[in-house]
Amino acid sequence: MRLSVVICTKDEQERLGRCLDSVAWADEVLVLDSGSTDRTRELAAERGAVVHRQGWLGFSRQKNRAAALASHDWILSLDADEVVTPALAASIRGALEARPDPHDGFALDRRADFLGRWLPNQARRSKRHELVRLYNRRFSGWDEAMPVHEIVRCPGRTHLLPGWLLHWNDFDLDALITLFNRYATVEAHDLHDRGVRVRASSVVIRPVARFLWLYLARGEVRLGAHGVVHSGLKAASEFMRYAKLWELQQPRAPRAAAPQDGAGDTVDGQVAPRRQA
């Protein structure tokens, strides 16, 4: 079975090289670029990748477009900041050599870096089969109804391959906070559009539960200070998501006029009286 690796990019010259190096064994590597202003396209061409351009269509549609441009039906879909380890590469080659059912998909065990440390897989064991990245485009594809955290839909079974997919972006805290804030906005709008209602308790309980899940259940406690900071950062992103959802569900009342001539502040919508001299 021949394999096409497809990668969607925009301004990824700092990270793309190691991604391309990790899949140099594939039959084809295709890069679909959405308007890079750095050397992303040149770097990809220098490493032997087929390069196409496409204006941004959204995460899922862009990845489906990349798969449609590939030469082979079996697709390994990667982000530019991901790296296939040698163990995972061997698993992928072995899976294809076994001539799998084209209705099936293969999920990967993705591990993220955080300030120089590799994190445990954050997904529940029951959900690890959902990270399908190796699939046959004739029967499977990215779900275009999902605006973020997109997934591949397969009509057959999914199999978890041995070996790690490294999510290696080298972000510092400023970059991560900016990224999580942007995702929180998109996710809040998606939840709102799906009719999810938020209570005040959710804005408190969900971040706490997220922290405990990552720090204790997923074992980030073993990473020392890195585990505390990362779990706290993810809890903060959970807070942002549901705080923004709460904001979307507030009635659009007219903005109150500012107090005039030294009038006092308002409490519960009432103007506080001036102090007596």
| Residue spans of alpha helices (H) in 15-131 | 16-22, 40-46, 59-69, 86-97
Q: Is residue 16 in some structural domain?
A: yes
| Same domain membership, residue 210 and residue 143 | no
DSSP 106-134: EEEEEEEEETTEEPPP-S-GGGGGG-EEE
Helix or strand holding residue 82 (H, E): strand 82-84
Would you give the distance in Å from CA 51 to the centre of its chain? 23
| Same domain membership, residue 162 and residue 226 | no
pLDDT score of 270: 53
pLDDT score of 266: 52
| Same domain membership, residue 122 and residue 243 | no
CATH code, domain with 7: 3.90.550.10
Q: Is residue 266 in some structural domain?
A: no
| Same domain membership, residue 212 and residue 98 | no
| Same domain membership, residue 83 and residue 195 | no
Nearest residue to 163 via CA among 87, 106, 76, 84: 87
Given a contact cutoff of 8 angstroms between Cβ atoms, the answer to whether 112 and 167 are in contact is: yes
Q: Is residue 269 in some structural domain?
A: no
| Same domain membership, residue 117 and residue 50 | yes
Q: Is residue 275 in some structural domain?
A: no
pLDDT score of 275: 46
Domain of 218 in residue numbering reads as 173-248
Q: Is residue 260 in some structural domain?
A: no
| Same domain membership, residue 202 and residue 155 | no
- Tell me which of 129, 145, 167 is where a domain ends: 167
pLDDT score of 147: 75
pLDDT score of 252: 76
Total count of domains within the chain? 2
CA distance 221 to 223: 5
The CA-based angle 114-117-121, given to 5 degrees, is 75
CA distance 76 to 135: 7
| Same domain membership, residue 11 and residue 85 | yes
| Same domain membership, residue 101 and residue 36 | yes
| Same domain membership, residue 127 and residue 64 | yes
| Same domain membership, residue 142 and residue 224 | no
Q: Is residue 261 in some structural domain?
A: no
Nearest residue to 70 via CA among 22, 28, 25: 28
Range 148-181 burial, b when 16+ CB lie within 10 A, else e: eebebbbeeebbebeebbbbbbebeeeebeeebe
CA distance 258 to 253: 15
Residuewise pLDDT in 10s, the chain (277 residues): 899 999 999 999 999 999 999 999 999 999 999 999 999 999 999 999 999 999 999 999 999 999 999 999 999 999 999 999 999 999 999 999 999 999 999 999 999 999 999 998 877 776 778 899 999 999 999 999 887 778 999 999 999 999 999 999 888 999 999 999 998 998 999 899 999 998 888 899 999 999 999 999 989 999 999 999 999 999 999 999 999 999 999 887 666 566 665 555 555 555 445 444 4
Given a contact cutoff of 8 angstroms between Cβ atoms, the answer to whether 219 and 170 are in contact is: no
pTM flag (> 0.75): yes
